[in-house]
Chains A and B, each alone.
Chain A
Amino acid sequence: MLLGLQHLLGIETLTREQITFILDQAKPFQELQRNPLKKLATLRGKTVAIAFFESSTRTRISFTTAASRLGADTMNLQAEASSLKKGESLLDTVRTLDAMRPDAIVIRHSSSGAPEFVSQRLEIPVLNAGDGTHEHPTQALLDALTIRDRKGSLEGLNITILGDILHSRVARSNIQLLSKFGTRITLCGPAMWIPRELESLAPNVRRSFSVEDALSGADVVLVLRVQTERIHEPSLAPEEYILCYQLTPARLRLAKPDALVLHPGPMIRGLEIDPAVADGAQSAVLEQVTNGLAIRMALLYHLVGGAPPDAPHPAKG
């Protein structure tokens, strides 16, 4: 296939050319979102299994909508309502889903590497919708698409990622993706969330513990959600996080005047981001959501559609 991929497991193993191809292919799907009639029949008769072993609202709805707008049917598995609670193993669960003959499976799981594990045991394409603290490739792709649309190119940009980098698969996938395009990445947040090892993830990654230093000259600020279960006394009180790291209008003024603000959602207003920034002219958070649909449609089109790679080439009609 053109993309040269059977699965989408992470950004780390993708080439710059494959990423560019996916971003380019998302463009016609962005335009489709503006059509009065949004439903295509392109993947009619195909079924996409959406297996979420961890709660999620936006990613699940986005994948389900992407599949249905392409004309595919979906089977939805949600951890809370499933037999997982009764003790079924991951492999047994996905094998059961696979026995209903889906044409692809989208997986979110709290264990890093779960989608790869599944991809080695099933014949169908596997798309990673977030695995543990490892990767969230479609999020990084939709972020890159949003940045590229607004800035024209990813090349040479200064990107600041703010928050809990250590536990963030969004940050990890973004670092992997952006570094392939020669951006300069600054990671900023409390020291316990930015271990030194993160600097070795990719070239041109630096750490900064001062939000003022990290924001100065930034083209893009990616604000991560602060998981409330991770901030508590004595190591870090919420008031302290807000005081030191919340993205406020005053702090955003340290970045370039046209700096773009991204947030993967769900956003906690008043904690990691000031409402005035979240709703401000520089915020692209809703654009990210729309672009997520386009990225996922492009991926499903290329991974799910089509005949096996060895099928004969048809005559031109």
Chain B
Amino acid sequence: MKVVEKRQLLSAEEIGRTLQRLAHEIVEKSGGTKDLALIGVRRRGVPLSQRLAKIIHTFSGIEIPVGVLDITLYRDDLSTVAPQPVVQSTEIPFDVDGRDLVLIDDVLYTGRTVRAAMNGLFDLGRPRRVRLCVLIDRGHRELPIEASFIGRGVQTSDTEIVEVRLNEIDPEERVVLVDRVP
């Protein structure tokens, strides 16, 4: 099996513009920022949530709290994977009770990651509302989950992979569609 790049979905510049738009949408549709907080889903949801908070601060002067959620222990495929994935820390430095939370992730695909993230969140408390913001929605849902804020919707086949590469983690910044060919 070989992995080949099919096309670029977003350039670095487009990622930046998309995040600007998403940040404005989140504030606009939240009816005030009083209880608003962002939760980045490990791994690439984390830098995305930090960037969104920074953008919101730049245009509104408001500091939105940001947390990090590790979903490993909530995955539904653990009995089928070997070895067991490494568990990482969940760092949510605020009380989630009564909060207006926005989960941030890079790609929305089957919806199983979001299901796991919600289970993890509800072990921490009872937020008032939870919405979802993703950079890319690639379809192929296996659960009744939709995002409230979408950077870009992309048609994909299920052999394809959407790779979000971010400067904080990867050697380059762009989003590409790759395919597995035999």
| A309 and B83 contacting across the interface, CB-CB below 8 Å | yes
Smallest Cβ-Cβ distance to A40: which chain B residue:
B73
Main secondary structure of the interface of B (DSSP, over half): loop
Contact A306 to B83, CB < 8 A, known contacts A28-B88, A317-B112: yes
Q: Within 8 Å CB of A310, what residues of B?
A: 82
Instruction: Say yes or no: B78 contacts A27, CB within 8 Å.
Output: no
**Is A81's beta carbon under 8 Å from chain B?**
no
| Shortest distance between the CB of A285 and any CB in chain B (Å) | 25
The answer to the question of B169 belonging to the interface, with a C-beta cut-off of 8 Å to chain A, is no
A308 is an interface residue with CB less than 8 A from chain B: yes
Q: How far apart are the CA atoms of A185 and B28 in the complex, in Å?
A: 62
Interface segment, B10-18, B29-37, B117-125? B117-125
User: With A27-B89, A28-B89, A42-B74 known to touch, is A37 a contact of B122 (CB < 8 Å)?
Assistant: yes
Distance (whole angstroms) from the CB of A296 to the closest CB of chain B: 14
Let me know if B123 and A37 touch, CB within 8 A.
yes
Which single residue of chain A is at the shortest CB-CB distance from B180? A315
A-B CB contact pairs (8 Å), 21 listed = A1-B84, A2-B85, A3-B83, A28-B88, A28-B89, A31-B89, A35-B124, A37-B122, A40-B73, A41-B74, A42-B74, A301-B73, A307-B79, A307-B80, A307-B81, A307-B82, A309-B82, A310-B82, A314-B81, A317-B109, A317-B142
CB-based contact A302/B84 at 8 Å: yes
Please determine whether B79 and A25 come into contact, CB atoms closer than 8 angstroms.
Answer: no
Write the nearest CB–CB distance from B165 to chain A, whole angstroms.
15
A305 touches B88 (CB 8 A): no
Query: What is the minimal beta-carbon distance from B82 to any residue of chain A, in angstroms?
Result: 4
Cβ-defined contact, A314 with B124, below 8 A:
no
Interface residues of B in 124-167 (CB under 8 A from A): 124-125, 142, 161
- Most chain A beta-carbon neighbours within 10 Å: one of B77, B78, B142: B78
Given A306-B81, A309-B83, 18 other A-B contacts at CB below 8 A?
Answer: A1-B82, A1-B83, A28-B73, A29-B87, A36-B124, A42-B78, A301-B87, A302-B83, A302-B84, A306-B79, A306-B84, A307-B79, A307-B80, A308-B82, A311-B80, A311-B82, A314-B81, A316-B161
Interface size on B, residues (CB 8 A): 28
Q: Say which size band chain A's interface belongs to.
A: 20 to 34
Chain A contact residues: helix, strand, loop or mixed? loop
CB within 8 Å: A-B pair count: 75
Q: Report the bound CA distance from A209 to B76 in whole Å.
A: 56
Segment 211-245 of A: residues with Cβ below 8 Å from B: none
Within 56-101 of B, Cβ neighbours of A (below 8 Å) are at 70, 73-74, 77-90
Question: Which residues from A are CB-within-8-Å of B20?
Answer: none
Taken together as a complex, chains A and B put the C-alpha atoms of A42 and B73 apart, in Å, by: 6
The answer to whether residues A37 and B124 also contact, given A2-B84, A314-B77, A317-B109 and a CB cut-off of 8 A, is yes
Tell me, in angstroms, the Cα distance from A313 to B85 when the chains sit together. Answer: 12
Mark each residue of chain A from 276 to 309: 1 if its CB lies under 8 Å from any CB of chain B, else 0. Answer: 0000000000000000000000100110011111
Q: How near does chain B come to A96, taking the closest CB pair, in angstroms?
A: 26
Q: Answer yes or no: A87 CB below 8 A from chain B CBs.
A: no
Q: In the complex, which residues of chain B have a beta carbon less than 8 angstroms from the beta carbon of A45?
A: 79
Which B residues touch A37, using CB under 8 A? 122-124
Q: Which of A28, A298, A316 has the most CB of B within 10 A?
A: A28
- A313 and chain B: residue at smallest CB distance: B81
CB 8 Å contact bits of A1-30 with B (1 = contact, 0 = none): 111000000000000000000000101110
How far apart are the CA atoms of A37 and B80 in the complex, in Å?
26
Write out the residue numbers on chain A whose beta carbons fall within 8 Å of the beta carbon of B124: 35-37
The residue in A2, A31, A306 that gathers the most chain B C-beta atoms within 10 A of its C-beta is: A306
Q: How far is the CA of A309 from the CA of B73 in the complex (A)?
A: 19
A106 → chain B closest CB, angstroms: 18
Q: Which residue of A lies closest to B125 (CB)?
A: A36
What residue in chain A is nearest B78 (Cβ atoms)? A305
Chain A hits for B122, CB < 8 A: 37
B residues near A301, Cβ cutoff 8 Å: 73, 84, 87
